[in-house]
Chains A and B, each alone.
Chain A
């Protein structure tokens, strides 16, 4: 049985993650966004490491390391370089106002909590709060993806979703394959980032703003 303190710490990290997701939501500058994401990844890796510690599951440290290394360090740097290379205008034009996005975010958190309510406590160490935190992180990430007009911020949003998943997966005590899954996911993310590179390097798209990208579709209206 795990000490309540340990659980509280875990909750702390989870709550912190949600908080950082919110911070992601109201970033309106590219650099700020990326830095915030680095923070996001950092929090995740910390919580994973904590889980590894309290569950005595050393393999989770790998996940934590991956999260820290790739998502907190490599990818932010890569994104910064992309921005510099592509000269993407610094500001991120949102689809709807930041304020509205925040409101929606709060609604989402409420929704995720309501969804989790009926889950009985016998679900185990990862109590419904943590699960609802993870769910909110995922939903906020989705919201991020659809409320920004810009490929980079979409990638960031996606990666924050992934962090939420990692949070949930590592929180699920004794879940096998977590490491494999996180590795697989990191590959995925890496591919996405490389994808943006590809697009740019092939000189095919003047911008990485998605709404310009879709003009290259096969069948035009």
Chain B
């Protein structure tokens, strides 16, 4: 009955893998860029197909309502980013930041990253997921370092070490989960399969689960970029190629968060275990407060938005930690919209950095005057990320704050105030970037605004009208997460 489903899932995994192999061989860089976009598009198409047809959960792979959201999102952003990267990388080649060989490597790695993330999302097995996340991390590490400038290498090295430690912690947590499960469901693969774990979680030894969750939260939280595990994130965003920054913020963080959510659902399935909420709320709130203050002293435009990613990841973690249908719904929606918005912002930032020849915000002024389309779309993106209507993030932040305030007023006030603090920093920068008299280099933009327009369009539409089907689906997932 669902052979088709199996095929689809297989396609989602195989297409990027093959694409990586092929792209490693393609000589012509322009064709490579197009092929890259095409492969990503195919993957996205297959992911869409999951909506109509999904296979029964197997021992290694599973497709359920939760991860379908993530898969479609990540394949979509992966596709648009590849389109953007086409126009971006060409420019990098002209300016000599990259050689042809490295470009091939870049494209291959891009698909490899896609493969890793899809695998992590699709895996029904905690161990497999761990391997996939590690794979994704390693590929991004390599890509962060691809410019081989000292700064880039430093960032990559830091990312690498911290990421590895995170991975180690996550692995220990995974082992503990297995141990917890083994005594109940017996040895073997079942003791690592999601559906089995969630089903039997209530019988597990709570002590094991608690310990496991601590390690998993810290391990995968490192990837999510939660304070104080965030250190790799700003530099990795700033020093790598912009498409990678977009993918990091837009996707990899989500994948890690997805892992956390999976384990959270196991935890909350066991009444005796320590409630995962408070931990997530604490880390999330810490991240929001910390990041919103860190926004003020940034000089590098990509670091600025990297920190804003930390802030928003904090918001999302906070929302899921608070739990409740309303907050979970808001968290999911916030995550999706943040991915779209932030990657759109990074698209703009990439073009800005190319036309101005710098990432130092002090040297970027008056974009709306010099490059109207670019400037205004960056402005719109910042408005969206700052949570102002009519963009969608306003709705989610509205839901999160209001639903929290009725339950935990102090938390809501802290959250709201730090959101305002972050808004202050972002607007301050926005003033400098897009307003005032333009100066410095002003190369013409040769950019395709299609991805930016698409993302911001979706975000705008989401702020005004959400299709009922989507809403029902998200609400269902939100109830699942409780």
Contact = CB atoms under 8 A, between A and B. Distances in A.
On whether A and B touch (CB less than 8 Å), the answer reads: yes
Nearest to B157: A195
Contact of A217 (B138, B154, B183, B298): B154
A213 B154 contact: yes
Contact of B175 (A168, A188, A202): A168
B265 interface: no
Interface string A133-167: 01100100010010000000010001001101100
Contacts, number: 129
A219 B148 contact: no
Interface in B169-192: 169, 171-172, 175-176, 178-180, 182-183, 187-189, 191-192
B153 interface: yes
Of residues B131, B168, B188, B238, which shows the largest number of chain A Cβ atoms within 10 Å of its Cβ? Answer: B168
A199 interface: yes
B235 A176 contact: no
A175 B193 CA distance: 12
Interface residues of B, number: 49
Interface of A: 115-116, 118-120, 122-124, 126, 131, 134-135, 138, 142, 145, 154, 158, 161-162, 164-165, 168-169, 172-177, 180-181, 184-185, 188, 191-192, 195, 198-199, 202, 204-205, 213-214, 216-219
A70 to B, nearest CB: 16
A219 B165 contact: no
Identify the 7 closest CB pairs spanning chains A and B, nearest first.
Answer: A174-B187, A216-B150, A177-B127, A218-B151, A118-B207, A216-B154, A119-B207
Nearest to A128: B207
Main secondary structure of the interface of A (DSSP, over half): helix
Contacts of A122: 183, 205
B155 interface: yes
Nearest to A164: B172
A56 B453 CA distance: 59
Contacts of A116: 211
A177 B182 contact: no
Nearest to B234: A219
Contacts of B161: 154, 158, 192
B277 to A, nearest CB: 21
Contacts of B183: 122-124
B151 A161 contact: no
A131 B164 contact: no
B128 interface: yes
Interface string B226-243: 000000001100110000
